[in-house]
Amino acid sequence: MNTFKAVTGQPMDRVDGVAKVTGQARYAGEYPEQGLLYGSVVSSTIASGRVVQIDTDEALSVPGVLLVLDHRNRPRLSSYDDDYSDADSAEGSPFRPLYNDRVLYSGQPLALVVAQTQEIARYAGSLVHIRYEEDAHQTDLGAALDASHEAPAETPEPRGDFAQGYAESATQVDVTYTTPVEHHNPMEPHASTVFYRPDGSLEIHDKTQGTQNCQDYLHKIFDVPKDKIRILAAFVGGAFGSGLRPQYQLPLAVMAALTLKRSVRVTLTRQQMFTFGYRPRTSQRLRLGADGEGRLLAIGHDAIGQTSRFEDFTEHLVEWSGMLYRCDNVALSYRLVPLDVYTPLDMRAPGAASGVIALEGALDELACAAGIDPVALRRINFADSNGNEGKPYSSKALLECYDQGAERFGWSKRNPVPRSMREGKELVGWGMAGGVWEAMQMKASAKASIDASGKLTVSSATTDIGTGTYTVMTQIAADAVGVLPSDVTFLLGDSSLPTAPLQGGSFTVSSVGSAVRQACLILRTQILEALRKSHPDVADVPVERVRFGDGHVLVEDRRFSIAEVVAGCEGAALQAQVDAEPSAKRSSFSTATHSAVFVEVRVDEALGTVRVSRVVSAVAAGRVINPKTARSQLLGGVVWGLGMALQEETLTDHGLGRFMNHSLAEYHVPVHADIGDIDAFFVEEHDDVVNELGSKGVGEIGIVGVAAAVSNAVYHATGKRVRDFPITLDKLL
Ligand code: MOS
């Protein structure tokens, strides 16, 4: 029997690639309209206190300025904290823009100038004069560690007896790693274009990872009916978590539109991209103890993170230390220090990217102290169940990651002695680390319909933040119905489409992909039913002898065009909608993605400069829907991990309580010249538990472990252990 070639598993080009590279793809701040107004945000210059006076006369006298909004004249808002919550809120009272005269952090929006052009608005913003009554502030986590309190999120209960296991260990490591504040810095700054329609409804193009999250948020804070708010996000120029919560430009643009009954756009400047969420600074103490063979007898991970005074931001910072390796005596703790700053926000592999730095750095230190090869040490302590949950992993091809990664890297040729691999004036170092991320699945809905020309349209309110969602959903849909990908249109980024979760956590393929597949499989059943009705001669052929593909139904040796079958149906179309639940098989398993990262660094001994010449990243993430877009996610993660290791750090002037290097000139990220050879690949991993696609998601795992691997390589090269990230040259000299 003829079989059709599946498009899932193929490295298909992005379906939106041409639109993007030719500039036809429009981003939130690019939608035009005659008479559109522009808002510019005026930000606070103090970190804590009260606004005593806002003088807007001079700004209002600029020709072309229509309005200056501040806390005194903004439209009516909901008065309760809870109404400002959203699907990714932290515990506490969400920030309420222009709510009152309180200044809670430096960079807080205090006024919005609305004018006929962006330039006029921005200029007039410089003429808004604000007088403050300043309070003392604290923005320095390092100086305020005593003020920490228990994080409200659960951390796993201690198991076994850490103190005893640690005391009995032949080798002990007790080290503290610190990581800095980092900012997401997507290429596309946050922007909202609010089209005000004559009936008072709002059609909003927003930079977001959750169209329906923004719709709910606006509905609650402005008391505008949901059916009068439509949020669109056709294209998103990177987000990495920065678009998980509605950002303040959105309510500000809506305030202006509702006040003026006009369409308004508010775009944040690059500097203002540093005035909301970020990856929080952390301080993490790791205590590891092992017996003479390197078996872990005790793991202690005590972390402190920063948060704002109004919300308790938590992330999974220490969980990884209780689940990646087998150990009976584990104690994890996590505390928060509230500071006069904005609330942190999930940022690519939130918690794991920074927590695993400490765990995998400490493990390298244990390997050195015990005289065991770092890969061997990890193999000895491999866990096939998650100790935090007491459940087996649905799959965990981490040993294959170690093997294949080490093989490709040439790890067996490593001389374990630090400073032993010099080449000319460069010290060469080889280091490695493991990585882990959750493989989650959320509820999601999708709709599929097919018409008489055989064109399949599938939709869900999810977004595509650059990850390739349009493309992989097209592939999943094409295979599930049996049509060519060129006959599939996938619609997303629209709050009016079937319900989808935020795009985050690496769970979009798992969640939305499963819904898409289910809706398309129902369509396939409907097509077969229609065929059996129109062709009684094939009605009795059992479904096992029917194939779908290339736009055709193959019944034994007879071929029928799907388009013709649909054309014969009532209404000449078929459609199906599904609300998909997380797979029932998941409940008795733990599900996660894993990686092994190998890094070569070259350190100039005289200058302290570190160059990463090679990276090998082996990843186990279940079935890969699109090897091309999935590998792109890994590459992006690896590059970002190099930035975490060596460059990225948002510096605060604690005297002023504000970020200083708030621009891409001074906030350093890796550029092409910083990137050496990256070999990122997937090992085979079969998993029929995680979800019906067997696919675990790849958005986050690429970054996890990279910074630790660099750090471990730097130690191997130099003999110097830098535990304060990023590893800048001053720390190596
Ligand atoms: Mo990602 S931090 O889950 O957007």
Count of beta carbons in the 10 Å neighbourhood of residue 82 = 10
Predicted confidence band at 1 (pLDDT cuts at 50, 70, 90)? very low
Cα distance between residue 171 and residue 331, in whole Å: 18
CATH topology of domain 282-440+587-732: Aldehyde Oxidoreductase; domain 4 (3.30.365)
- Ligand 1 contact via 555 beta carbon (within 6 Å): no
Asked if the model's pLDDT at residue 391 lies above 80, the reply is: yes
Domain boundaries defined on the chain: 31-136+187-239+243-274, 282-440+587-732, 442-581
Mean pLDDT of 243-272: 98
* pLDDT tens per residue, range 358-378: 999 999 999 999 999 999 999
E strand intervals along 281-401? 282-290, 296-308, 311-312, 330-339, 385-386, 391-392
Which is the closest atom of ligand 1 to the Cα of 348? 2
* Per-residue model confidence as pLDDT tens digits over 568-591: 998 999 999 999 999 999 999 999
Q: Is the CB of 241 under 6 A from ligand 1?
A: yes
At 307, is the secondary structure helix, strand, or coil? strand
Q: Probe ligand 1: pick from 700, 703, 704, max atoms within 8 Å of CB? A: 700
Residue 315 near ligand 1, beta carbon < 6 Å: no
For residue 504, which atom of ligand 1 is closest to its CA?
A: 3
Ligand 1 pocket check for 350: Cβ under 6 Å = yes
Answer yes or no: is the C-beta of 504 below 6 A from any ligand 1 atom: yes
The pLDDT of residue 249 is 98
Percent of the chain with pLDDT over 90: 98
The ligand 1 atom nearest the CA atom of 505: 3
> In the predicted model, what is the mean pLDDT of residues 690-712?
98
Is the pLDDT assigned to residue 256 strictly greater than 80? yes
State the chain's mean pLDDT as an integer. Answer: 97
Q: Does 505 sit in the ligand 1 pocket, CB within 6 Å?
A: yes
Pocket test for ligand 1, best of 244, 462, 696 (most atoms within 8 A of CB): 244
Res 51: pLDDT? 98
For residue 436, pLDDT over 90 is answered with yes
Q: Grade residue 57 by pLDDT with cuts at 50, 70 and 90.
A: very high
What would the pLDDT profile of 115-128 be if each residue is shown by its tens digit? 999 999 999 999 99
Percent of the chain with pLDDT strictly greater than 70: 100
Class of domain 442-581: alpha beta
Tell me what pLDDT residue 90 has: 94
Give the DSSP letter string of 48-109.
SEEEEEEE-HHHHTSTTEEEEEETTTSPP----GGGG--TTPPEE----TTSSSEE-STT-E
pLDDT, mean of residues 291-312: 98
387 lines ligand 1 (CB under 6 A): no
Specify the ligand 1 atom closest to the Cα of 350.
Answer: 2
CA 596 – ligand 1 centroid, Å? 21
C-alpha of residue 209 to centroid of ligand 1, in Å? 9
- Give the separation between CA 494 and CA 233, rounded to whole angstroms: 6
Joined together, the tokens standing for residue 552 give 């055709």
- Distance, C-alpha 697 to centroid of its chain: 11
What architecture (CATH level 2) is domain 31-136+187-239+243-274? Alpha-Beta Complex (3.90)
State the distance from the centre of ligand 1 to the C-alpha of 244, rounded, in angstroms: 7
Query: Do 31-136+187-239+243-274 and 442-581 share a fold?
Result: no
For 318-335, letters b (16+ CB in 10 Å) and e give bbbbbbbbebebbbbebb
Whole-prediction pTM: 0.97
Quote the tokens at residue 167. 């005391």
Per-residue model confidence as pLDDT tens digits over 14-35: 999 999 999 999 999 999 999 9
